[in-house]
Amino acid sequence: MPEGLIRPTELRARFARSLSTLYGSEVPAYNTLVEVSEAVNADVLAALGPEAERLGSIGRVTAERHGAIRVGTPEELAQVGRIFGACGMYPVGFYDLREANPPIPVVSTAFRPTDGAELAANPFRVFTSLLVSDDRRFFDASTQAQLEEFLGARRLFPDELLDLADLAEKGGGLEPVDADRFLELATASFALSPEPVDRSWYDHLEAISSVAADIGGVASTHINHLTPRVLDIDDLYRRMTDRGIVMIDRIQGPPLATKPAVLLRQTSFRALAEPRTFREADGSVAAGALSVRFGEVEARGVALTPAGRALYDDQGLAAFPDTEQGLHAAGLAYYRRDPGGSDTGLQPIVYEDFLPKSAAGIFASNLTSDGSMDAAQRASVRDAASLQEALGRPLHDPYDLYAAQI
């Protein structure tokens, strides 16, 4: 391989950093969230020592972010796949948020590294949702046609960016100048657009679903939130509240318990009003505001096996054993034998994915309305196979990836 190439691992770490700088400039409260997260993590590390790093080194956890984006068409999704593919991030898992409460007209996947060493180097992941514009429960025939026309006419990503992405994926990296250009174009593609929003079209979609309006009512996509990881989310929640930042009223996911940390716990501060310009019905352009983007933070635990996940979904955490040895013995969670440790030494495999219930909770806590849906209408079929076809690349099963890490 040629010397001096910027490899996907490095592209991913730099991409996460440059999106973080962008999001901090757009949503200043995000910088507070990162600052408080880092303070909490430093305190946990000081209090617990090496124990604090069992679910990832402090270097990994400090750099760790997940973002969320939303796109409108299968073609846009396939393009996103090429850009993230250049950074060694591949689609994992299928989430149908139309099943959530309230239902959201999207299906989703998460782009992330898939092997242990890459995750340890930088686990940047992006939850990516695709609008289901032909689902009659949400969109009547005329709205579907208008959506398809609007979405078909926009270009989210310039050809130069997509060409560089393909070059990176084929060649295993980019020359330094190309890497800089790739990162500049990729980051800019996820910035909030200054372009005026057509007020009546946006309002029409928002009455159906705020998420549909955020996707199909504007001319570009944007990072919707960027989430740092914290080692003690209860402490973080208290510190943010003490700083006067209004948080959603609860932490999503498994409750705080005297049990080993499993899966994912998340909380967020509410979406803030951001200035946007609108084109009114008479053609005039006026200043206004939209509240779509918010700040989320998360704590991660051990990945559950299919049996562990089924138990969690049916009965919650109360039904779980009190110790990691117990979880391991019952086949409920993924552990690796600690190579340097004693016979009972177990190394947890970190949960790297998302939880549909938490995702729905995060969506819902930031929606301006529940929207409207006619359950009697025809649902359109979307499953992992159809998402994989839209992506034009393999959709990984998260359980296969956890099993491969043991």
Q: Which residues bind ligand OOG (CB under 6 A)?
A: 68, 70, 127, 129, 224, 266, 296, 354, 358-359, 362-363
**Count of H-run helices and E-run strands, the chain:** 16, 12
**What 3-state class would DSSP assign to 95?**
strand
Residue 77, token pair as written in the block: 């999704």
Q: Which does 354 bind (CB under 5 to 8 A by kind): Ni ion, ligand OOG, none?
A: ligand OOG
Closer residue to ligand OOG, CB minimum distance, 116 or 356: 356
CA angle 9-15-17, nearest 5°? Answer: 110
Q: Which of residues 62-91 bind Ni ion (CB under 5 A)?
A: 68
Measure the CA–CA gap between 111 and 168, rounded to whole angstroms: 17
> With binding defined as CB under 5 A, does residue 353 bind Ni ion?
no
Contact 165, 82 (CB under 8 A): yes
Shortest distance (Å) from residue 126 CB to ligand OOG: 9
Shortest distance (Å) from residue 391 CB to ligand OOG: 17
Phi and psi at residue 191, in whole multiples of 5°? -80, 155
Shortest distance (Å) from residue 402 CB to ligand OOG: 18
Shortest distance (Å) from residue 4 CB to Ni ion: 35
Pairing of strands 225-228, 106-112: unpaired
Instruction: Give the residue nearest to Ni ion (CB).
Output: 296
Instruction: Look at the alpha carbons of 50, 56, 60, 65 in this order and tell me if their dihedral is positive or negative.
Output: negative
Shortest distance (Å) from residue 259 CB to ligand OOG: 22
Shortest distance (Å) from residue 84 CB to ligand OOG: 15
| Chosen residue from 76, 169, 296, 353 binding Ni ion by CB under 5 A | 296
Residues 6+ apart with CB under 8 A from 58: 41, 45, 52
Q: Which does 405 bind (CB under 5 to 8 A by kind): ligand OOG, Ni ion, none?
A: none
Binding track, positions 213-252, relative to Ni ion; x by CB under 5 A:
--------------x-------------------------
Closer residue to ligand OOG, CB minimum distance, 52 or 106: 106
Measure the CA–CA gap between 326 and 323, rounded to whole angstroms: 5
Residue 104, token pair as written in the block: 């959201």
List residues near Ni ion by CB under 5 A. 68, 227, 296
